Structure 1
């Protein structure tokens, strides 16, 4: 199923095991330095989105969606392994978890990211999703490198108290509790992962702590976007790409 086509790129849903294997191989190159394919048990229950270069047939980007009927099902999510999401159980509308987002490390065309977000918008609109969420990752596990970025998250982007995830993982960096200084906005934006920057532009919010994932060599924060609260101008831009 084609979700979106623009110029030399097209986004579609995986059609079978071979497509999923291709996504897992790309994730291995992006997340594990090509040592092996990246696989887990969630792959079998997710919809996988592939962004391909139509000229070469090359897979340049992939990510996956886990659909949930409401917050009552959030315990099934990947993120629930690392965060206490019990407050979000009260969220009444359909949700989708976006995960394993990656772009081929050798590809640097900004149109890939634009098409990926257009495909995400088409999927979210098509499924009537009211909350988009996932784990946004910082490369490496040294939180000091990202002190301005984390200070920005504390100052401007923490989740509302009614949804705020609690600590569940054993190894976390509690940046909202630990940081006391004002952020340098320029430095913070430079160190913010592109995926997380896009979430924040949509009005997204984050957990008050980062999980230290030494297996994946990342720090990640839980990130949520309430679709109804995305700024109108941003919605128009996303839907213009998706349309």
Structure 2
């Protein structure tokens, strides 16, 4: 499954999940069957989410994390201490909540980011320029998305999005953004999909955003007339297809992340762009959890 991943060095102190990150009660954001999505409530749950991230990023996708993270078998960085951690739990699994975590997203609101040195994605993309054009809007970053292989179903993705939507409603967000990744460090191997994104859903005008110049890799790898949309959609990672169904746009250039063995693109999703069909689908139920 496509994931949002960047490598960020962290000290051992920053690696420890902070109790201050634990949200208040009333943090359940959605339910579908035996699956529930809510925010992490404790340092132990954040640690368990980091373990899930390690299983996906390192054991499955062969990322190379800093030595301390590899030793502890946890994917962590300094941002974990002040981000909110959205979890998907399978309540049918016996044990504590930590044993039930099957997916996670990391959420960072603009006010929190500005108080702690900025957004995570700004190490790859020109986020500051994007935000400067929208002084009246409140941005929210989605990151570190991952789901265990056996739970990569439409239902789990819908629940994650219900959680993201309810969280955005609760905090009055205007737009979401975050990295999404293709496997491997050779953009040319994804020429069809990247070119489709560039020609079809490019973020333009006030929403235009690219990679930092020294990291930017071209996405315009095929002429528009040479792109077969049906085949291109089939070549997109599931997470990116989910973003597009909600009305997302994509930045103009990609970034290769050697440590995580990925090619990253930036997704931009103004709340106002979410199609009515999905707004109604998620909004009706998410609204129950957003107050």
TM-score (norm 2): 0.77
**2:173 alignment partner, SS class:** coil
Q: Which runs of 5+ in 2 are unaligned?
A: 1-26, 61-69, 94-98
Residues 42 and 189 of structure 1: CA distance in aligned 2, closer, same or farther (over 3 Å) = same
Does residue 180 (structure 1) correspond to residue 236 (structure 2)? The answer is no
Residues 104 and 241 of structure 1: CA distance in aligned 2, closer, same or farther (over 3 Å) = farther
Does residue 79 (structure 1) correspond to residue 121 (structure 2)? The answer is yes
In structure 2, C-alpha distance between the alignment counterparts of 1:184 and 1:96, rounded to whole Å: 33
1:109: how far off? 3.5
1:108: how far off? 3.6
Cross-structure match for 1:220: 264
1:90: how far off? 2.1
1:241: how far off? 4.9
In structure 2, C-alpha distance between the alignment counterparts of 1:27 and 1:72, rounded to whole Å: 25
Cross-structure match for 1:13: 39
Q: Which runs of 5+ in 1 are unaligned?
A: none
Does residue 210 (structure 1) correspond to residue 254 (structure 2)? The answer is yes
Residues 70 and 166 of structure 1: CA distance in aligned 2, closer, same or farther (over 3 Å) = farther
What does residue range 1-243 of structure 1 map to in structure 2 within 5 Å? 1-33=27-59, 36-56=73-93, 57-69=99-111, 76-85=118-127, 86-91=129-134, 92-168=136-212, 170-176=214-220, 178-181=221-224, 182-242=226-286, 243=288
**2:281 alignment partner, SS class:** helix
Instruction: Tell me if structure 1 keeps the 8 A contact 2:133–2:206.
Output: no
Instruction: Tell me if structure 1 keeps the 8 A contact 2:210–2:216.
Output: no
Residues 70 and 174 of structure 1: CA distance in aligned 2, closer, same or farther (over 3 Å) = farther
Q: How many residue pairs were aligned?
A: 242
Deviations 1:125-158 (A, max 9, x none): 1111100100011111122232111111111111
Deviations 1:11-35 (A, max 9, x none): 1111121111011110011111166
1:70: how far off? 10
In structure 1, C-alpha distance between the alignment counterparts of 2:56 and 2:37, rounded to whole Å: 19
In structure 2, C-alpha distance between the alignment counterparts of 1:220 and 1:228, rounded to whole Å: 24
Higher relative contact order (CA 8 A, sep 6+): 2
In structure 2, C-alpha distance between the alignment counterparts of 1:26 and 1:101, rounded to whole Å: 10
Residues 109 and 146 of structure 1: CA distance in aligned 2, closer, same or farther (over 3 Å) = same
Which deviates more from structure 2 when the two are superposed, residues 187-196 or residues 74-83? Answer: 74-83
1:119: how far off? 0.9
Instruction: Tell me if structure 1 keeps the 8 A contact 2:82–2:112.
Output: no
Q: Please report the RMSD computed on the Cα atoms of aligned residues, expressed in angstroms.
A: 2.2
In structure 1, C-alpha distance between the alignment counterparts of 2:167 and 2:147, rounded to whole Å: 19
**2:37 alignment partner, SS class:** strand
In structure 2, C-alpha distance between the alignment counterparts of 1:168 and 1:203, rounded to whole Å: 24
